[in-house]
């Protein structure tokens, strides 16, 4: 957790975006191996993001009251870049391709997706969302550890049931199984309803960078 906090401090994002009470670490010490890999919520399964650390995000109380999102909405993941993540958190909703991010750049459509079809993509497993196609590595030097890391960002989300479609992987995995729990054929969700997805956690993972 301390490395995750150091990383997030280095981003200089507004402190008010975060909610410490929702912080959660999924390392093997904090979330032991025998514990469940797959959790059911809102009548759908999602895979525990083992090896990641979650920094809790503030969620609009209106959404909690109006939609009972903690009980009725499912859990999904959305891998993204630093700029797109901050844009989503500041604007309080997800972006569709063609929208302008906070730095003025336009959100594009990833390779592998159908050109000119504008959707937001999520997954019930972080094994998919953490593909570097979605969540590129960011260099991060920890002065506490004197170590250079590659850090990845994935948003943990609540998503409205029955508001999206399910499709197979689009990252050219071929016959390689991406997640032991979710088949490749059902690994990607897509929707064009921006307000059907709410980010409630910023998940980060670090790997020591080889030089």
Residues at the contact surface with Zn ion, assessed by CB under 5 A: 25, 27, 29-30
Which CB sits closer to Zn ion, 27 or 114? 27
Nearer to Zn ion (CB atom), residue 34 or residue 174: 34
Phi first, then psi: give them for residue 29, nearest 5 degrees.
-75, -45
CB of 52: closest distance to Zn ion in angstroms?
10
Q: How far apart are CA 138 and CA 48, in angstroms?
A: 23
Minimum separation from the CB atom of position 66 to Zn ion (A): 33
190, 119 in Cβ contact below 8 A?
yes
Residue 83 carries which DSSP code? H
Task: Give bridge partners of residue 41 from the DSSP assignment.
Answer: 44
Q: How many CB atoms lie within 10 A of CB 209?
A: 14
Smallest distance, Zn ion to C-beta of residue 49, A: 12
Nearer to Zn ion, 95 or 149 (CB): 149
Residue identified by tokens 């009251």 is 65
In the complex, the smallest distance separating the C-beta of residue 29 from Zn ion, rounded to whole angstroms, is 5
Q: Which is nearer to Zn ion, 25 or 193 (CB)?
A: 25
Q: Which two tokens stand for residue 47?
A: 């895979």
């Amino acid at each position: 957790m301390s490395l995750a906090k150091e990383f997030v401090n280095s981003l200089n994002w507004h402190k008010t975006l975060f909610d410490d009470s929702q912080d959660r670490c999924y390392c093997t010490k904090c979330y032991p191996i025998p514990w469940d890999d797959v959790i059911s919520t809102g009548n759908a399964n999602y895979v525990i993001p083992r090896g990641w650390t979650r920094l809790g995000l503030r969620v609009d109380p209106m959404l909690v009251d109006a939609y009972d999102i903690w009980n009725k909405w499912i859990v999904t993941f959305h891998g993204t870049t630093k700029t797109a993540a901050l844009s989503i958190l500041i604007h309080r909703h997800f972006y569709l391709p063609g929208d302008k991010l906070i730095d003025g750049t336009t959100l594009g459509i990833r390779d592998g997706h159908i050109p000119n079809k504008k959707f937001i993509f999520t997954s019930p497993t972080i094994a998919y969302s953490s593909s570097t196609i979605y969540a590129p590595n960011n260099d991060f030097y920890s002065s506490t550890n004197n170590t250079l890391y590659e850090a990845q960002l994935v948003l943990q989300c609540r998503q409205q049931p029955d508001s999206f479609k399910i499709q197979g992987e689009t990252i050219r995995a071929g016959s390689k199984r991406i997640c032991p729990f979710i088949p490749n054929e059902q690994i990607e969700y897509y929707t064009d309803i921006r307000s059907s997805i709410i980010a409630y956690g910023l998940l980060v993972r670090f790997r020591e960078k080889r030089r």
